[in-house]
Structure 1
Amino acid sequence: MSAALTAASKLDSILHLNFQKLSQEYPPLQSFLQEGHIDFWNEDAVLTLTKAILKVYFALELCLPKNRLCPMVPNRVLYLDYVQKLLQSTMDDFDNEKVTGLDIGTGASCIYPLLGCRLFSFSFLGTEIDSSSYDAACSNVSDNHLEDKIRLENRCKTDALLSSCPTGQEFTFVMCNPPFYGSDEELINYKDSLPNSVCTGNENEMITEGGEVEFARRILRESKYRREILWFTCLLGKKSSLADLIHDLRDEKIDNYGIYEIYAGKTKRWILSWSFSNRRPPNHLIRPKFFSIPKLLPRKTLYEWNVTMDKQTFFDVLNGFLDNMNVQYSYLNYEKIVVFSNGISWSRKARRTGKHQNPSQTSIKDGFRCTISYDNFKGQSCWKEGNDYLVYESFCSTLHRKYKESYPS
């Protein structure tokens, strides 16, 4: 069973917990059950439940100090699962490449590195500014015998957030669950309004100057000098934070970004991701389907058009169109064609000047790579690589028009 399938199976189990069954596998939980339910306002009950989930589903033994944040495991698994899918969609050989993550503010539990190692065999550097949390995190790593996969650094508030990779290589991704709040007053108002559970986090874990927006901005500012890192991500607790941060991304001309929503119980969080690479993730990883602020969304990577033919005819016709458009293409399998262009070669101007693709030229600085497939009387083009959306859009519009003109409905 692949790591992705294992993660999906475990995720489904912890999102639909049977407390009675879990308590049979982890007896210390039994004393906190009340008619098959857990009192989420009972701090000891929440700590014991978290330990039970980590032990039963992930074979992790954790020491969780009462005066530090008790991690909600489903949210953490959903975040890691998203990162895994994001990397898989934008790396050439994800299954065989070493993946190393930087977890900023790893906390006493060191939850993201520990789960990331168990679920996907990632390696990690975790940083922490609180000495007590750092000591607890070190103990959790050693107690689970993961010192060869996880390194930890005790940092200062004034240090750069984006540390150097201890292996001498570059990080593959950055993840961060920043403190949500900018003041004691904000935190008090939050705790007073909590509908679901007790909050055990201390000030360092919950409050930072400027709140989560300013913390994420620090990562963004530093990321401009660490472009070799494939993906930068932040888990945000406030939907309102997205507008400010996406405004900043657009100001920096960073168009390769994404928004992703995660749900665990009644809790909703938002992951903001961005990259300086030209690898483009699929729509479902960057554009929530029912997002209430569409103007914040990045450009679509999936272009669809209706056709009136069966699949075999669709591909037969497509071959002729692609030949006439002077682009390179090859069959990935019987279901999909990969198209490569190093510039606009299908316009009237390009044809007049005799511009053709050079098969030996592999750069797509001015072009793109995409896949084309057929799905139930729809043509689908998925943008995989490229810097200029307008070039890709021109190709898709031209292809759509050719189908429409040649085979009207």
Structure 2
Amino acid sequence: MKQPAEKPLFHPRNRHRGRYDFAALIVCHPALAPFVQVNQYGNESVDFADPEAVKVLNQALLHFHYQIEHWAIPDGFLCPPVPGRADYIHHLADLLAEDHQRVVPRAINVLDIGCGANCIYPLIGFREYGWRFTGSESNEQAIKSANAIIAANAGLAQGIRLRRQKDNHAIFRGVIHKNELYHASVCNPPFHASAGDAQQGTQRKLRNLGLDKNAPLNFGGQQDELWCEGGEKAFIGRMITESVDFARQCIWFTSLVSRKENLPDLRRALEQAGAVQVRIVDMAQGQKQSRFIAWSFFDKAARTRLLSR
């Protein structure tokens, strides 16, 4: 059985559509070499159940494709899948292009809600499109890690800045300053509704990977990265409620939505909030189905005018 040459359904501009070129990745990032092995398809791969292998693969991908030479996150923090995160950025670019004569705009300010220790969306968005990012983060260790990544790589400080969210109950308040305009916001919200749900999810992933329940989790994740009271529906619901107060300071608010069944309730919340436009953007990476919800309080004419400034 041969592994497919191209990963199905990735965005056309996603640099990770094809199989990983491990030879090229190793030349660029030699630390990856010890983790590469031949899989059941007879192709080179890494053990995705090994958290260190996943982290070093991320380092190699970021180094080779995005010129991020130094990327490190503290143990236990979320280690994001780079191809899937890139898909969100590219689909967001298409959404913005719809109001910009079908051309992806470049002079863009993006707000990343909860940028995490990995700072992944700003890294990809800045390198791919030259967008400027403001990343918000409430976890002190995470923001220190993200700032270290920015400082360690030439040029990143020109396009990425971070702001500490001091209020754990706020999302946009305290982060969006007076008279600022963001063209879009992005967010990877906490998925689980409680610590117990997060633990059960961890156990399912470990079983799917054929690992012992006490094995280290390959993608990691801190409490505030994995769960909040009410799960992602409650978190995005808070985003929607709070976005009303910043309706004229962000053209497109967006967030990943992992559970499709949450969409009807979120649509109703947006209708009640007075959103002028709501979009569901479907994404897929191999067998995994994903999506983000986007809403705006501006009509199309206003969005086009603001994006053309």
User: Counterparts of 1:15 and 1:204 in 2: how far apart (Å)?
Assistant: 33
* Structure 2: distance between partners of 1:103 and 1:202: 18
Aligned residue runs from structure 1 range 314-329, under 5 A: none
1:24 shift after superposition: 3.7
> Which residue is 2:192 aligned to?
181
- TM-score, normalising length: structure 2: 0.82
TM-superposed CA distance for 1:10, in Å, is 6.2
2:64 to 56, 60, 71: 56
| Partner SS for 2:218 | coil
Structure 1 position 43 matched with structure 2 position 51: yes
CA distance in 2, matches of 1:156, 1:18: 42
Unaligned runs of 5+ in 1: 1-6, 280-363, 366-383, 386-409
Are residues 1:231 and 2:252 paired? yes
Conserved in 2, the CA contact under 8 Å of 1:15 and 1:265?
no
What is the Cα deviation at residue 268 of structure 1?
Answer: 2.2
Alpha-carbon spacing, 1:26–1:10, altered in 2? closer, same or farther (3 Å):
farther
Shift of 1:66: 2.1
Distance in 1, matches of 2:241 and 2:177, equals: 22
2:126 counterpart of 1:106 = no
- Say whether the 8 Å CA contact 2:276–2:299 is kept in structure 1: no
Aligned equivalent of 1:248: 269
Q: For 1:223-276, what per-residue CA distance to the aligned partner results, in whole angstroms no more than 9, with x for missing partners?
A: 112222110100122212212211212333435111122222333221011111
Structure 1 residues 164 and 190: CA distance shift in structure 2, 3 A: closer
Identity value in percent: 27
2:106 matches 1:122: no
Q: CA deviation at 1:120?
A: 0.7
Q: Distance in 2 between matches of 1:8 and 1:268?
A: 13
Mapped contact 1:65–1:108 kept (Cα < 8 A): yes
Letter in 1 for 2:258: G
Question: CA 1:15–1:205 in 2, change beyond 3 Å: closer, same or farther?
Answer: farther
State the alpha-carbon separation in 2 of the partners of residues 9 and 254 from structure 1: 30
Q: Match for 1:58: what amino acid?
A: Y
Is 2:284 the counterpart of 1:263?
yes
Letter in 1 for 2:170: A
Greater alpha carbon shift after TM alignment, 249-258 vs 232-241: 249-258
Match of residue 214 from structure 2: none
Matched, 1:25 2:35: no
Structure 2 segments unaligned to the other structure (5+ residues): 1-9, 39-43, 210-216
Distance 1:14 1:107, change over 3 A: farther
Does structure 2 retain, via aligned residues, the 8 Å contact 1:10–1:57?
Answer: no
Q: Distance in 2 between matches of 1:225 and 1:94?
A: 29
Aligned letter for 2:47? D
**What CA distance in whole angstroms lies between the structure 2 residues aligned with 1:128 and 1:251?**
28
**Pair 1:169 & 2:183 matched:** no
Q: Which amino acid aligns with 1:252?
A: A
Residues 163-206 of structure 1 show CA distances to partners (whole Å, capped at 9, x for unaligned) of 55469431111111011011111111211222357231111210
Matches within 5 A, 1:357-368: none
What is the distance in 2 between the residues matched to 1:54 and 1:31?
A: 18
Query: 2-side partners of 1:218 and 1:207: how far apart?
Result: 14
How many pairs are equivalent?
277
CA distance in 1 between counterparts of 2:197 and 2:120 reads: 25
2:6 maps to none
Write the distance in 1 (CA, Å) between the matches of 2:128 and 2:86. 9
Tell me the SS of whatever aligns to 1:179: coil
Instruction: Give per-residue Cα distances to partners, 1:339-390, cap 9 Å, x unaligned.
Output: xxxxxxxxxxxxxxxxxxxxxxxxx89xxxxxxxxxxxxxxxxxx99xxxxx
Q: 1:156 aligns with which of 155, 166, 172?
A: 166
| Structure 1 residues 312-363: Cα deviation after superposition (integer angstroms, max 9, x where no partner) | xxxxxxxxxxxxxxxxxxxxxxxxxxxxxxxxxxxxxxxxxxxxxxxxxxxx
RMSD: 2.6
Q: Which residue in 2 is equivalent to 1:209?
A: 229
Is 1:273 the counterpart of 2:291? The answer is no
Q: Do the aligned partners of residues 29 and 113 (structure 1) sit closer, same or farther apart at CA in structure 2, a change above 3 Å counting?
A: same
Residue in 2 aligned with 1:357? none
